[in-house]
Amino acid sequence: MDLSALEKEILEADLSTEEGRTAFQKRFLQKGGVLESLLAELRTLPPEARKARGQALNALREKARQRWEAAKQAYSTPLSTTPKPQDPTFPALRIQPGGRHPLSLIEGRIIRFFQRLGYTLATGPEIEDDWHNFSALNFEPDHPARDMQDTFFLDPAAGLLLRTHTSTVQVRVMERQKPPIRILAPGRVYRNETVSARAHVYFHQIEGLYVDEGVQTSDLKATLTSFVENFFGPGTPMRWRASYFPFTEMSAEVDIACLICHGAGCAVCKHTGWVEVLGCGMVDPAVFEACGIDPHRYTGFAFGLGVERLAQLLYTIPDLRLFGQNDLRFLQSFQGYGYAL
């Protein structure tokens, strides 16, 4: 067989298509191909002709292999690694910035305000015992909050439960630290409630406690009035209502004029024109005694803020469940909100 014709074929074969390359591979590189059968025929040649013919065939096989490798490189490169010319008129990719959860935004604002007044952060466990959640806070043995209807008991025999308020942290701090005490305790609390738009099995509170010699009701009023004006705006109409908590004596709740209807009455304020924003009071001397603090020497006040409640009021969020559902459409509506807003 004329090897020069074969060489021409090897050098000129069209390898730009998949079919061309497959055919080339079959004919020149695989068993049963033309080069393989010519090499096999060498044995039939006289020894003097065998060497030159063998070298020529091997040279051809090497050329075929090189063309095949080059074609594979040139045509089989994956598309993704092929650099494409840039199109400067193409719209830019939209960058999705992250955002803080609305509850973190509110919590951050509250913490920053009280930190400026010298309050420091304190934390406590979410699994509590009866002493820290109830007894030390002056809850009577038959108080309804101790009922299974209201509280998640983990181990009734051991008295373990999920804390129902962050007031537990007050007790823990007062047990190990003597006045002056000025703390802020943010955290998650649990109630045995049916989940609805207005109630949930968990929510977030921020507890504040200030204990020192000579702390008076006027300090409480000044501190919380200043907070409400900072949070909702200067001149926000507010009112103080007498209330009851087991762990404070003189207990009060603070309402502000409804942000939706500005006092005219709407569904959010149940047509009263007012919405409750916090509970507070002067620490009951019985609580000081339970925590080993001399009630004759020290006085103090405590307050509790509901983070979800403040977020609902400030951002007009109708359903409490939205905070825990991780629905991106809800969370993305707070994108770009910083702590300053």
Matching residue, tokens 């009951």 = 284
160 DSSP β-pair partners: 129, 155
When binding is defined by CB under 5 A, the residue of 206, 269, 302, 305 that contacts Zn ion is: 269
Question: In sequence order, what are the residues at sequence separation of 6 or more whose Cβ sits closer than 8 angstroms to the Cβ of residue 171?
Answer: 131, 132, 136, 137, 287, 290, 291
Matching residue, tokens 């820290």 = 132
Sign of CA dihedral 27, 32, 35, 37: negative
Q: Which is nearer to Zn ion, 40 or 197 (CB)?
A: 197
Closest CA to 310 of 150, 108, 7: 108
How many angstroms separate the first and last alpha carbons of the chain? Answer: 88
Under rule CB under 5 A, residue 258 binds Zn ion: yes
Phi, psi of 50 (to 5 degrees): -65, -40
When binding is defined by CB under 5 A, the residue of 111, 266, 286, 317 that contacts Zn ion is: 266
Question: How many residues in the shown chain lie near Zn ion by CB under 5 A?
Answer: 6
Closest-by-Cβ residue to Zn ion is 258
Under rule CB under 5 A, residue 313 binds Zn ion: no
Stretch near Zn ion under the rule CB under 5 A, chosen from 111-119, 220-228, 261-269, 290-298: 261-269
When binding is defined by CB under 5 A, the residue of 39, 260, 317, 331 that contacts Zn ion is: 260
Under rule CB under 5 A, residue 277 binds Zn ion: no
Q: Which is nearer to Zn ion, 158 or 267 (CB)?
A: 267
- In angstroms, give the least distance from the CB of 256 to Zn ion: 11
Q: Which is nearer to Zn ion, 211 or 310 (CB)?
A: 310
Contact 28, 36 (CB under 8 A): no
When binding is defined by CB under 5 A, the residue of 261, 286, 314, 331 that contacts Zn ion is: 261
Residues that bind Zn ion (CB under 5 A): 258, 260-261, 266, 268-269
